[in-house]
Amino acid sequence: MKRDYTKEMLLRTAWLKDVLAASGAFGFVFGSSGGKDSALVGILCKAACENTLGVIMPCGASINFGDDKAHALLLAKQYGIEHAEVDLTNVKSELVQTIGVDLNDQAERNVAPRLRMTTLYAIAANQGRLVVGTGNKSENYVGYFTKWGDGDYDLNPIADLTATEVHEFLEHINAPKEIWTKAPSAGLFEGQTDEAELGFSYKELDEYLLYGKEGENIEKIKKQHKNSEHKRKEIPKFKSPASILQGSALS
Protein backbone atom coordinates (compact mmCIF):
# COMPACT_ATOMS: atom_id res chain seq x y z
CA MET A 1 0.00 0.00 0.00
CA LYS A 2 1.40 3.39 -1.00
CA ARG A 3 2.08 5.82 1.83
CA ASP A 4 0.17 9.05 2.32
CA TYR A 5 3.09 11.39 1.75
CA THR A 6 1.19 14.51 2.75
CA LYS A 7 0.69 12.91 6.16
CA GLU A 8 4.27 11.59 6.20
CA MET A 9 5.56 15.13 5.69
CA LEU A 10 3.65 16.37 8.72
CA LEU A 11 4.62 13.43 10.93
CA ARG A 12 8.32 13.57 10.09
CA THR A 13 8.70 17.31 10.48
CA ALA A 14 6.92 17.12 13.85
CA TRP A 15 9.28 14.34 14.92
CA LEU A 16 12.32 16.36 13.85
CA LYS A 17 11.09 19.33 15.89
CA ASP A 18 10.62 17.12 18.96
CA VAL A 19 14.08 15.54 18.69
CA LEU A 20 15.73 18.93 18.21
CA ALA A 21 13.88 20.47 21.17
CA ALA A 22 14.83 17.57 23.45
CA SER A 23 18.49 17.71 22.40
CA GLY A 24 19.21 21.31 23.32
CA ALA A 25 20.84 21.81 19.91
CA PHE A 26 20.06 24.81 17.72
CA GLY A 27 19.74 23.29 14.26
CA PHE A 28 20.53 20.53 11.79
CA VAL A 29 23.45 19.77 9.47
CA PHE A 30 23.45 17.12 6.73
CA GLY A 31 25.66 16.02 3.88
CA SER A 32 24.15 17.45 0.70
CA SER A 33 25.26 15.00 -1.99
CA GLY A 34 22.81 15.97 -4.73
CA GLY A 35 21.10 12.58 -4.45
CA LYS A 36 17.57 11.51 -3.56
CA ASP A 37 18.10 10.60 0.08
CA SER A 38 19.99 13.73 1.07
CA ALA A 39 17.47 15.85 -0.86
CA LEU A 40 14.53 14.45 1.09
CA VAL A 41 16.41 14.83 4.38
CA GLY A 42 17.24 18.44 3.55
CA ILE A 43 13.62 19.24 2.67
CA LEU A 44 12.31 17.66 5.86
CA CYS A 45 14.89 19.35 8.08
CA LYS A 46 14.25 22.76 6.53
CA ALA A 47 10.50 22.32 7.03
CA ALA A 48 11.13 21.53 10.69
CA CYS A 49 13.83 24.08 11.42
CA GLU A 50 14.96 27.24 9.65
CA ASN A 51 18.50 26.68 10.97
CA THR A 52 19.37 23.85 8.58
CA LEU A 53 22.73 23.59 6.82
CA GLY A 54 23.57 21.35 3.86
CA VAL A 55 27.28 20.69 3.37
CA ILE A 56 28.53 19.82 -0.10
CA MET A 57 31.68 17.69 0.26
CA PRO A 58 33.40 16.77 -3.02
CA CYS A 59 36.12 14.21 -2.51
CA GLY A 60 38.02 13.52 -5.71
CA ALA A 61 35.46 12.08 -8.16
CA SER A 62 34.66 14.48 -10.99
CA ILE A 63 30.91 13.82 -10.63
CA ASN A 64 31.17 15.42 -7.16
CA PHE A 65 32.06 18.70 -8.88
CA GLY A 66 29.53 18.25 -11.71
CA ASP A 67 25.99 16.90 -11.42
CA ASP A 68 26.25 16.19 -7.67
CA LYS A 69 27.16 19.77 -6.83
CA ALA A 70 24.72 21.25 -9.35
CA HIS A 71 21.83 19.25 -7.89
CA ALA A 72 22.80 20.08 -4.31
CA LEU A 73 22.81 23.78 -5.22
CA LEU A 74 19.48 23.39 -7.03
CA LEU A 75 17.97 21.87 -3.87
CA ALA A 76 19.40 24.68 -1.70
CA LYS A 77 17.97 27.34 -4.00
CA GLN A 78 14.49 25.84 -4.35
CA TYR A 79 14.02 25.27 -0.61
CA GLY A 80 16.08 28.14 0.77
CA ILE A 81 18.51 25.79 2.52
CA GLU A 82 21.74 27.36 3.71
CA HIS A 83 24.71 25.57 2.19
CA ALA A 84 28.48 25.38 2.52
CA GLU A 85 31.16 23.58 0.52
CA VAL A 86 34.13 21.71 1.97
CA ASP A 87 36.44 20.21 -0.66
CA LEU A 88 37.98 17.07 0.84
CA THR A 89 39.92 16.01 -2.26
CA ASN A 90 43.38 17.01 -1.02
CA VAL A 91 42.65 15.81 2.51
CA LYS A 92 41.82 12.34 1.22
CA SER A 93 44.87 12.25 -1.04
CA GLU A 94 47.21 13.30 1.76
CA LEU A 95 45.69 10.83 4.21
CA VAL A 96 46.01 7.91 1.80
CA GLN A 97 49.64 8.86 1.13
CA THR A 98 50.36 9.26 4.83
CA ILE A 99 48.98 5.80 5.63
CA GLY A 100 51.84 4.59 3.49
CA VAL A 101 50.46 1.28 2.23
CA ASP A 102 48.65 0.35 -0.96
CA LEU A 103 44.99 0.36 -0.01
CA ASN A 104 42.65 -1.95 -1.88
CA ASP A 105 39.71 -0.37 -3.71
CA GLN A 106 37.20 -0.94 -0.91
CA ALA A 107 39.47 0.46 1.79
CA GLU A 108 40.21 3.59 -0.23
CA ARG A 109 36.59 4.19 -1.19
CA ASN A 110 35.55 4.10 2.46
CA VAL A 111 37.92 6.97 3.27
CA ALA A 112 35.64 9.59 1.67
CA PRO A 113 32.48 8.78 3.71
CA ARG A 114 34.54 8.78 6.90
CA LEU A 115 36.07 12.15 6.10
CA ARG A 116 32.60 13.51 5.39
CA MET A 117 31.33 12.21 8.74
CA THR A 118 34.26 13.88 10.52
CA THR A 119 33.52 17.14 8.72
CA LEU A 120 29.84 17.11 9.63
CA TYR A 121 30.53 16.40 13.30
CA ALA A 122 33.15 19.17 13.47
CA ILE A 123 30.63 21.65 12.07
CA ALA A 124 27.89 20.31 14.34
CA ALA A 125 30.03 20.63 17.47
CA ASN A 126 31.11 24.14 16.50
CA GLN A 127 27.62 25.42 15.69
CA GLY A 128 25.41 23.51 18.12
CA ARG A 129 23.74 21.35 15.46
CA LEU A 130 22.64 17.72 15.17
CA VAL A 131 24.08 15.58 12.37
CA VAL A 132 21.22 14.15 10.33
CA GLY A 133 21.64 10.79 8.58
CA THR A 134 20.62 10.26 4.98
CA GLY A 135 20.51 6.47 4.64
CA ASN A 136 17.32 4.65 3.65
CA LYS A 137 15.89 1.26 4.69
CA SER A 138 16.98 -0.50 1.49
CA GLU A 139 20.63 0.51 1.90
CA ASN A 140 20.59 -0.44 5.56
CA TYR A 141 19.16 -3.91 4.87
CA VAL A 142 22.04 -4.92 2.60
CA GLY A 143 24.70 -2.91 4.45
CA TYR A 144 25.25 -0.44 1.64
CA PHE A 145 26.83 2.19 3.86
CA THR A 146 30.21 2.80 5.48
CA LYS A 147 30.82 2.05 9.13
CA TRP A 148 31.87 5.26 10.90
CA GLY A 149 31.01 7.13 7.71
CA ASP A 150 27.50 7.70 6.36
CA GLY A 151 26.35 5.06 8.86
CA ASP A 152 26.96 7.48 11.75
CA TYR A 153 24.60 10.31 12.72
CA ASP A 154 22.50 11.70 15.57
CA LEU A 155 19.10 11.05 14.01
CA ASN A 156 17.62 9.87 10.72
CA PRO A 157 14.14 10.88 9.49
CA ILE A 158 14.08 8.50 6.48
CA ALA A 159 15.57 5.28 7.92
CA ASP A 160 12.23 3.45 7.59
CA LEU A 161 11.69 4.43 3.93
CA THR A 162 12.80 2.20 1.08
CA ALA A 163 14.60 3.69 -1.93
CA THR A 164 11.32 3.36 -3.87
CA GLU A 165 9.43 5.28 -1.19
CA VAL A 166 12.05 8.04 -1.11
CA HIS A 167 11.56 8.41 -4.87
CA GLU A 168 7.76 8.54 -4.48
CA PHE A 169 8.02 11.04 -1.61
CA LEU A 170 10.20 13.43 -3.66
CA GLU A 171 7.89 13.17 -6.65
CA HIS A 172 4.85 13.84 -4.44
CA ILE A 173 6.28 17.04 -2.98
CA ASN A 174 7.50 18.30 -6.37
CA ALA A 175 11.21 18.17 -5.56
CA PRO A 176 13.54 18.94 -8.49
CA LYS A 177 12.95 16.27 -11.14
CA GLU A 178 16.67 16.21 -11.99
CA ILE A 179 17.29 14.69 -8.56
CA TRP A 180 14.62 12.02 -8.23
CA THR A 181 14.94 10.72 -11.80
CA LYS A 182 18.71 10.14 -11.88
CA ALA A 183 20.41 6.81 -11.18
CA PRO A 184 21.29 6.37 -7.49
CA SER A 185 25.02 6.84 -6.89
CA ALA A 186 27.27 7.43 -3.90
CA GLY A 187 29.63 9.35 -6.19
CA LEU A 188 32.65 7.48 -4.84
CA PHE A 189 34.38 7.00 -8.20
CA GLU A 190 33.87 7.71 -11.89
CA GLY A 191 30.83 5.96 -13.36
CA GLN A 192 29.78 4.43 -10.03
CA THR A 193 26.12 3.53 -9.50
CA ASP A 194 24.59 1.85 -6.48
CA GLU A 195 22.79 -0.87 -8.41
CA ALA A 196 25.86 -1.86 -10.44
CA GLU A 197 27.82 -2.30 -7.22
CA LEU A 198 25.02 -4.18 -5.47
CA GLY A 199 24.36 -6.53 -8.36
CA PHE A 200 20.58 -6.05 -8.24
CA SER A 201 18.08 -3.23 -8.58
CA TYR A 202 16.46 -1.28 -5.77
CA LYS A 203 13.14 -2.23 -7.35
CA GLU A 204 13.83 -5.92 -6.77
CA LEU A 205 15.18 -5.29 -3.27
CA ASP A 206 12.22 -3.10 -2.31
CA GLU A 207 9.63 -5.53 -3.65
CA TYR A 208 11.16 -8.09 -1.31
CA LEU A 209 11.22 -5.69 1.67
CA LEU A 210 7.73 -4.29 1.08
CA TYR A 211 5.82 -7.31 -0.23
CA GLY A 212 8.02 -10.36 0.35
CA LYS A 213 8.36 -10.90 -3.41
CA GLU A 214 11.43 -13.00 -4.19
CA GLY A 215 13.04 -12.22 -7.57
CA GLU A 216 15.94 -13.83 -9.39
CA ASN A 217 18.53 -12.13 -7.18
CA ILE A 218 16.93 -12.99 -3.85
CA GLU A 219 19.83 -15.21 -2.72
CA LYS A 220 22.27 -12.40 -3.45
CA ILE A 221 20.12 -10.01 -1.43
CA LYS A 222 19.89 -12.42 1.50
CA LYS A 223 23.64 -13.06 1.39
CA GLN A 224 24.48 -9.34 1.47
CA HIS A 225 22.06 -8.88 4.37
CA LYS A 226 23.74 -11.67 6.32
CA ASN A 227 27.29 -10.59 5.50
CA SER A 228 26.60 -7.01 6.59
CA GLU A 229 24.94 -7.92 9.88
CA HIS A 230 27.97 -6.65 11.81
CA LYS A 231 27.15 -3.12 10.59
CA ARG A 232 23.72 -3.18 12.22
CA LYS A 233 24.58 -4.89 15.50
CA GLU A 234 25.77 -3.26 18.70
CA ILE A 235 29.55 -3.24 19.01
CA PRO A 236 30.70 -6.33 20.95
CA LYS A 237 31.90 -5.50 24.47
CA PHE A 238 33.62 -7.89 26.85
CA LYS A 239 31.35 -9.84 29.18
CA SER A 240 32.60 -12.61 31.47
CA PRO A 241 30.81 -15.88 30.65
CA ALA A 242 28.79 -17.01 33.66
CA SER A 243 30.19 -20.53 33.35
CA ILE A 244 33.71 -19.24 33.98
CA LEU A 245 32.69 -17.31 37.07
CA GLN A 246 30.64 -20.05 38.70
CA GLY A 247 32.48 -21.52 41.65
CA SER A 248 35.51 -19.27 41.18
CA ALA A 249 36.92 -16.76 43.63
CA LEU A 250 35.43 -14.03 41.43
CA SER A 251 31.86 -15.20 41.82
pLDDT tens track for 74-121: 999 999 999 999 999 999 999 999 998 999 999 999 999 999 999 999
Report the catalytic residues.
Answer: 37, 139
**Residue 64 is assigned to a structural domain of this protein:** yes
Q: Residue 113: give the domain boundaries.
A: 5-136+144-199
Angle between helices 36-48 and 163-172 (to 10 degrees): 50
Q: Which residues, including other chains, have CB under 8 Å from residue 159's CB and lie 6 or more apart?
A: 133, 135, 136, 137, 140
- Can you name the residues that pair with 131 across neighbouring β-strands? 29
Rounded to whole angstroms, what are the CA distances from 27 to 31, 38, 83, 104, 158? 14, 16, 13, 38, 18
3-class secondary-structure state, position 54: strand
What does the alpha-carbon distance between residue 246 and residue 248 come to, in Å, rounded to a whole number? 6
Position 1 scores a pLDDT of 79
pLDDT band at 251 (very low <50, low <70, confident <90, very high): very low
**Residue 15 is assigned to a structural domain of this protein:** yes
pLDDT band at 158 (very low <50, low <70, confident <90, very high): very high
What does the alpha-carbon distance between residue 152 and residue 133 come to, in Å, rounded to a whole number? 7
CATH of the domain at 192: 3.40.50.620
Counted domains in the chain: 1
Backbone angles phi, psi at 141, to 5 degrees: -60, -40
The amino acid that residue 167 corresponds to is H
Read off the pTM: 0.90
What does the alpha-carbon distance between residue 46 and residue 36 come to, in Å, rounded to a whole number? 15
Position 176 scores a pLDDT of 94
**Residue 239 is assigned to a structural domain of this protein:** no
Position 240 scores a pLDDT of 74
Q: Which residues, including other chains, have CB under 8 Å from residue 44's CB and lie 6 or more apart?
A: 9, 12, 13, 16, 157, 158
**Residue 176 is assigned to a structural domain of this protein:** yes
